[in-house]
Structure 1
């Protein structure tokens, strides 16, 4: 994408730093087109963060573009893997990945993740558990669910031991997104 590819917020609000966003998307485009050294994966895209600055790019628009970019790199990785190893090997790899989520998904509600530390922000356990039950239905009973549904999930806020620690939940859901992208 070229510079100025996203709308900006007013000078009184915060958005993503335009120079960082433009540089990242320019690099991603060059890597995707094979015109730049190095590699970029869906996981790399998902882990990308930008500074917030006054008058920056609208975060929702950039985040949506990052989601599309992640899906594009994940799709390419799937195609390359299938070309080298076959569709059955890809399916087996996805099944193995889904099994790595089982340990958490099979835990009882309220016990899937560690509680947050004293006074730390946390996710509402019931909200997280509801999403985990949907993931179980998807993986075990083939009920439809997209990576976007997991990405866009929101959870009520809690503090301390009343909720799940955010980092382990975020890491787990990132892995679930990776597996779901492999099936889309």
Structure 2
């Protein structure tokens, strides 16, 4: 049997090969027009697989998912531009970017809800640093890529010293969508 990705090793955990193979096989069918099942760049970004001993190396699969997401986003953009025009696409991206801007204009330390007592979350300084990079991108044309947002890491904090993870993750997800739309 041919494996799509290298193994994490027999004693290490990795992504379930059957789930990964099924997802990539279906994604290929959709991309090549052999299936009418809807699949978007966002669907690819949210793909998740169980961890199993001897599974696929997560880094290799994640890199392939990043490339696949870019391919689907590019196709979505091309279809959008073909039916509505380039200006409409830019207006669509601007509208998405505006949904981010409300949080970006908040003061450091106040951009996201705080974690509940005893709950772990992200260190606000790290998240605020990424938010400042987004402000610099939007307002001053500084360089920032979707990969930089996708691979951003935040220190851990606890309780009211931390931002809640879910809102930060959702915000980063939207920022990635906007950045991918112009890359």
TM-score, structure 1 length as denominator?
0.97
Name the residue aligned to 1:166. Answer: 165
Is the counterpart of residue 88 in structure 1 residue 87 in structure 2? Answer: yes
Name the residue aligned to 1:58. Answer: 57
2-side partners of 1:108 and 1:37: how far apart? 45
Segments of 5+ residues of structure 2 without an aligned counterpart are none
Note the C-alpha offset of 1:9. Answer: 1.3
1-side partners of 2:118 and 2:53: how far apart? 29
Runs of 4+ in 1 over 4 A off after TM superposition: none
2-side partners of 1:62 and 1:104: how far apart? 32
Name the residue aligned to 1:145. Answer: 144
Note the C-alpha offset of 1:3. Answer: 5.2
Note the C-alpha offset of 1:26. Answer: 0.4
Name the residue aligned to 2:46. Answer: 47
Question: How many residues in Structure 1 have an aligned counterpart in Structure 2?
Answer: 183
CA deviations over 1:131-159 (Å, ceiling 9, x no partner) = 00000111122211110010010111111
Q: Is the 8 A contact 1:3 1:22 kept in 2?
A: no
Name the residue aligned to 2:28. Answer: 29
2-side partners of 1:165 and 1:3: how far apart? 42
Segments of 5+ residues of structure 1 without an aligned counterpart are none
1-side partners of 2:32 and 2:41: how far apart? 15
Larger mean CA deviation between 163-172 and 9-18 belongs to: 9-18
Name the residue aligned to 1:15. Answer: 14
Is the counterpart of residue 108 in structure 1 residue 131 in structure 2? Answer: no
TM-score, structure 2 length as denominator?
0.97
Is the counterpart of residue 97 in structure 1 residue 83 in structure 2? Answer: no
Name the residue aligned to 2:174. Answer: 175
Is the counterpart of residue 126 in structure 1 residue 128 in structure 2? Answer: no
SS at match of 1:164: coil
SS at match of 1:158: strand
CA deviations over 1:56-80 (Å, ceiling 9, x no partner) = 0111111111111111101100001
